[in-house]
Amino acid sequence: MTAKDLDVRCPCCDTTITIEALTGRILRTVEPGQRDETGQALLDEGRWDQVSERVAERPASAEDKLEAGLREEANRESSLDDLFEKAKDKVKRRGEGELPGDPEQ
């Protein structure tokens, strides 16, 4: 707990909630069965391993997202050109009377 965190204990269920004072964000909840004799949270090794694995997977996920974004950006010009051509054809057909609507409206 830092100086900017607040520990609040629920009087009904005795759960301790740690809140970041600046943002009001809940950082952690510790139920009575998850505390030792001193009131500190017990570490669950299995949970720690799961979190550690998720953190280790983040860079790969970020790389995948970056590559997908770069591919999308590379194809963006051709996609916009195709969209422009479709719109131009639609206006042309509307002017020739194939589509309902007046282009001057």
Q: What is the pLDDT of residues 77-88, one digit of tens each?
A: 888 999 999 999
For the question of whether the overall pTM of this predicted structure is more than 0.95, the answer is no
Residue 16: give the domain boundaries.
Answer: 1-42
Do the domain assignments include residue 71?
no
41 burial via Cβ count (<10 Å: 0-12, 13-18, 19+): middle
Q: 18 is written with which tokens?
A: 């740690």
Given a cut of 80, whether residue 101 has pLDDT beyond it is: no
Is position 77 within any domain?
no
Q: Is the dihedral of CA 87, 93, 96, 100 positive or negative?
A: negative
In a domain, 80, yes or no: no
Give how many domains the chain has, as a whole number: 1
Look at residue 1 and tell me if it is in a domain.
yes
**Residue 50: inside a domain, yes or no?**
no
